[in-house]
Amino acid sequence: MTRKFQTSTFLPPLLLGLLAFIVRYVYAGAERIVWGDEPFYMWLGRNWFSGQGYHLAFTDHWDYHHTPGYPFINAALTLLTGDMKRASNWSFILFGAGLALVIYFLTRRIYDEKSAFAAGTLAALAPATALMPLYWGTLTEPPYWALSFAGVFFAHRAFQKFRALDIALAGAFLALAYYVRPEAVVFLGAMGLILGLRALARPPRIRHLGYPLLLGIVFLLAIFPYLYKVHQVTGVWTISQKVGANFATAKGLALGSFRQFDIETWGLDSTGQQVRFFSEEIAAASALDYILANPMAYARILYGNTLKLFSLLFNIHLFPWYLLIPLAAGLFRRAWDRERAWNELFLAFTLLPGLSFILFFVQERYIAALVPTLMIWAGHGLVELGDWLRESVSKIVGDRDSAFSHPSSVFSKRYSVFNKGFLWLPTALIIIFFLVMTPRQADTAYLRGSARPVHLEAGKALAPYIEPSDIVMSRYVAIAYHAGAAWAPTPAASVDEVLTYARYHGVRFWAIDGFEAYNLRPQFAPLVDDPTRPRPGLKLLLIVPDERGEEPVVIYELLRK
């Protein structure tokens, strides 16, 4: 009996973890573009571990834009794998499998083991968790989700029965998630609030209110060294420096104007020596000041962000709309008792971190934090649909032919086994669907204005010319990364200002994407249209065509004066 119990208890999560591991291992083996923030985290970790300081090649101050959690993970795994990209892939694999297991154990606590396996299967196979993080440009999502929901798991244990150890573990995991992505502070607020409501509903109320307070104390103690370092560098005490910086640099993105966003983010600061995103001038930017300066404009941003959230959320990349059917079944097929209502309220609070991006701007990778909770509900709903199907078939067939329902009938015994399969039929269909559909989403993962295959080709073409100390200037960091060079961002400025900036930072090569020149920075268009006659100070090095017939990448070498 004990052996049977142990097998039935540990076999499902073991199979689930193995499935999630294998799927991610296969998907991570495909060639991909390393772009966006991912190279920043890689370079920060490499510089940190090699004693060069926690900053990038073109900055001379400690980097307060990127929390050190993922740089640490990548640098540690690089020591084991010998390659930064391979380290990112292994982080994706291990933390992705960990997320599937965390979803399994959390769902098992709230519902049952069958629902847990179905929800864990969704987390193991669906594009949002099994594939898309490879193409979103940060690779921070898997560790952020896994650590955040580990914190949620222990918070739920405390939610069921207040214990200091569970509270401490919840605070510790949420703090680790914060070091990966600072928006984990919203998870802290959500868990603190729901635990506070639970405490008010359970005498002795005053004593129980100490537990959400303890959660906040553990979290703040764990992140205080980082907060103190940011204060030393910026002179500001803040939980997340990115909040004000996002308002200072991303208004155009929220309004759908990529040219405005380009200027706000990559325009030069007052010194002419740094782009705004990395400038110390916006270190103390205040979100409240930006809101109060034009409340009506901010109201329009909120409205637009809300519409965009729903349009992005319910698609194959995140949470396909047809999964709303099992989600609704999971929530509403059976009546709730008081404890079920509390558990559903607890899960609803875990949606707050993803929903909070309505206040700033909405992208797939930001609102993807909603998906694990939706998978829990949908996984439970798949089992509920299977149970409904099994009961319906049993009644229909049993009423029609008594031979199937007679206890001693051979048909009855065979049918009983067959009928149990109906319970898992919806889950099995979803498994087959995602095994077929998920890998196909890689072709639609990149946004044309953010990453293109020609960036990878340009990096490879430039690599033979790169020497150890070379810096490549480009709007798209992928070109420099795949060339094996350090990077400096191309400012959204006049050509003369760009060249002055480039010489200040010791840039040797300048890569210009035709899409960038024609759609965002028309002042660069002549350098793409007629590269054989470069302006003084530049020498044409390479023209890298796009295999799809789109805009090329033109690479110049800066001549030394």
pLDDT value for 253: 63
- Which of 226-240, 307-321, 332-346 bottoms out in mean pLDDT, i.e. has the lowest? 226-240
Summarize the confidence of residues 337-352 as an average pLDDT. Answer: 98
Highest mean pLDDT among 64-68, 188-192, 444-448: 188-192
List, for residues 294-313, the tens digit of each pLDDT value. 888 888 889 999 999 999 99
Q: Which helix (H) or strand (E) holds 513?
A: strand 509-513
d(C-alpha 97, C-alpha 129), whole Å: 10
pLDDT band at 529 (very low <50, low <70, confident <90, very high): very high
* pLDDT (mean) for 191-218: 96
CA 486 to centroid of chain Cα atoms = 25
**Tokens 């193409």, residue located:** 135
Task: Look at residue 284 and tell me whether its pLDDT is greater than 90.
Answer: no
Looking at residue 395, its pLDDT comes to 81
- Region 159-170: what's the mean pLDDT? 97
Q: Which fold, 453-558?
A: D-Maltodextrin-Binding Protein; domain 2 (3.40.190)
Q: Provide the percentage of residues in the chain whose pLDDT is more than 70.
A: 91
Residues 6 or more apart in contact with residue 180 via CB below 8 angstroms: 67, 69, 70, 73, 140, 143, 144, 147
Outline where 401-532 has alpha helix (H).
Answer: 402-405, 410-437, 453-462, 477-483, 495-504, 514-515, 525-529
Per-residue pLDDT, 248: 62
Q: What residue segments make up the domains of the chain, in order of their start? A: 390-440, 453-558
H or E, element range at 544: strand 538-544
Distance CA 96, CA 23 (A): 10
Do residues 513 and 533 lie in contact, with contact meaning Cβ atoms separated by under 8 Å?
no
CA distance 456 to 55: 24
Q: Which two tokens stand for residue 9?
A: 């208890």
Residue that the structure tokens 């890998």 belong to: 439
22-45 per-position pLDDT tens digit: 999 999 999 999 999 999 999 999
Q: What residues have CB less than 8 Å from 95, skipping those under 6 apart?
A: 142, 143, 145, 146, 147
Q: What is the pLDDT of residue 557?
A: 97
The CA distance from 245 to 255, in Å, is 16
Q: How far, CA to CA in Å, does 70 sit from each of 41, 43, 64, 302?
A: 6, 11, 13, 30
In sign, the C-alpha dihedral spanning 61, 63, 64, 69 is negative
Q: What per-residue confidence (pLDDT) applies to 560?
A: 80
Q: What local confidence, expressed as pLDDT, does residue 4 receive?
A: 46
